[in-house]
């Protein structure tokens, strides 16, 4: 490669994808002499890139983080990924919509026309979370989690009211983004006699000064914080001895015959278990839909309580007959009486 500018771009690309390169290996990859590599490294330093010389018999180079942000180099796939990630950032639940919009405009401006057209072809209108997380709070909680440091914070209510109790003190283990909200999974010594796992919404947290107190991380039951959190929301448990992270499913599962064809029900009771909205959650393995004939289907659903499950079936806007279990039938009668009383009132 004889063009110095193109050669420097390739050198920069190589330095960005690996921690450290031997000088001879870089020279071989660029098809130049080690002396030319040294000159190109000096030019990158003049442009603001902190390329450090590595010690050793063969010598080498590594790209360090700098005090300023120099020009970045993305390949086509990376550029598309960055642009799309910025476009859907408002749906993440973090309060970064304005910053993401400005960043996307900056990235788009420096994109070549062939890539700009591909990004513009994806018309994204992301939904925004009802309650966004302050980025500073998210960073503070994430830093404590990564450093395994005890976290102290005040915890507000769902209506933004300040907490009227002493600051919480927990051992943060995982930050999880779920359905447009951010949660902290932490070990809480204040629960029970021996402590237990607790979940906190990060948009209600107000961290205090860092404690700098380290703790030994515990093993999350099932090994998967996402699966554990999903099980907690369902009201079910995770087998602490399992390594797969699988949950035990909804605590309440029932079956009914529904007077509707399976094709009509399928969009509302797919694998995401979204029917009726009560207790819905992604990845619902308890949902089973079987077509009996053109006008009748057998449907199995799950939820966190029997009354909530009865409400899910009632929300299908079709006649249905419960097949079991008895707890679901009893909950349906209770729900019917409650709805009748509400209508009369």
* Residue 300 per-residue DSSP state: E
- pLDDT at res. 28: 86
d(C-alpha 178, C-alpha 227), whole Å? 11
- pLDDT at res. 103: 79
Cis peptide before 280 (omega within 30 of 0): no
Q: Where are the beta strands (DSSP E) in 92-167?
A: 151-155
- pLDDT at res. 72: 62
Q: Where are the beta strands (DSSP E) in the chain?
A: 21-22, 50-54, 60-64, 151-155, 168-178, 181-188, 196-201, 205-207, 252-258, 288-293, 296-303, 320-324
Regions of the chain with pLDDT less than 70: 1-3, 17-19, 55-59, 65-73, 122-130, 157-164, 192, 234-249, 270-285, 345
Q: Which structure tokens are listed for 110?
A: 């420096």
239: left (phi over 0), alpha (psi -120 to 50) or beta: beta
- Give the CA distances from residue 14 to residues 94, 132, 189, in Å, rounded to whole numbers and listed in that order: 33, 38, 48
- pLDDT at res. 95: 75
**Interacting residues of 204 by C-beta distance below 8 A, sequence separation 6+:** 155, 156, 157, 158
Contact 286, 249 (CB under 8 A): yes
Q: Which structure tokens are listed for 82?
A: 């960055």
Quickly list DSSP for 115-176.
HHHHHHTS-------SSPBPHHHHHHHHHHHHHTB-EEEEE--TT-PPP-SPPEEEEEEEEE
Q: pLDDT tens digit string along 302-337? A: 887 888 889 989 988 889 999 989 999 999 999 999
- pLDDT at res. 144: 93
- pLDDT at res. 241: 36
Query: How do beta strands 168-178 and 181-188 pair?
Result: antiparallel
Say what the pTM is: 0.56
* Residue 216 per-residue DSSP state: P
d(C-alpha 276, C-alpha 312), whole Å? 4
- pLDDT at res. 214: 95
């Amino acid at each position: 490669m004889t063009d110095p500018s193109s050669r420097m771009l390739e050198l920069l690309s190589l330095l960005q994808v690996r921690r450290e390169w031997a000088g001879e290996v870089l020279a071989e990859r660029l098809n130049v002499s080690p002396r030319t590599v040294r000159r190109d490294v000096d030019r990158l330093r003049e442009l603001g890139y902190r390329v450090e010389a590595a010690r050793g018999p063969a010598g080498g180079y590594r790209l360090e983080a700098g005090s300023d942000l120099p020009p970045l180099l993305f390949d086509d796939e990376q550029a598309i990924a960055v642009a799309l990630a910025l476009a859907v950032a408002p749906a993440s639940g973090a309060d970064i919509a304005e910053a993401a919009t400005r960043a996307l405009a900056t990235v788009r401006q420096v994109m070549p026309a062939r890539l700009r057209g591909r990004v513009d072809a994806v018309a994204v209108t992301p939904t925004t979370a009802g309650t966004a997380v302050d980025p500073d709070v998210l960073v503070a909680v994430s830093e404590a989690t990564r450093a395994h440091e005890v976290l102290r914070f005040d915890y507000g209510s769902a209506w933004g009211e300040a907490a009227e109790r002493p600051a919480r003190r927990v051992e943060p283990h995982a930050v999880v983004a779920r359905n447009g909200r951010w949660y902290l999974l932490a070990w809480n010594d204040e629960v029970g006699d021996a402590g237990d796992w607790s979940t906190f919404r990060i948009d209600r947290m107000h961290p205090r000064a860092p404690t700098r107190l380290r703790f030994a991380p515990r093993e999350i039951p099932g090994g998967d914080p996402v699966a554990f959190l999903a099980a907690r929301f369902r009201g079910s448990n995770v087998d602490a001895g399992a390594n797969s992270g699988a949950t035990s499913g909804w605590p309440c599962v029932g079956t009914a015959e529904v007077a509707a064809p399976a094709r009509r029900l399928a969009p509302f009771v797919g694998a995401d278990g979204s029917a009726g909205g009560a207790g819905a959650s992604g990845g619902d393995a308890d949902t089973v839909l079987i077509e009996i004939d053109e006008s009748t289907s057998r449907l199995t659903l799950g939820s966190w309580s029997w009354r909530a499950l009865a409400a899910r079936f009632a929300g299908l806007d079709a006649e249905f007959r419960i097949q079991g279990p008895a707890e679901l039938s009893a909950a349906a009668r209770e729900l019917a009486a409650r709805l009748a009383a509400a209508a009369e009132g």
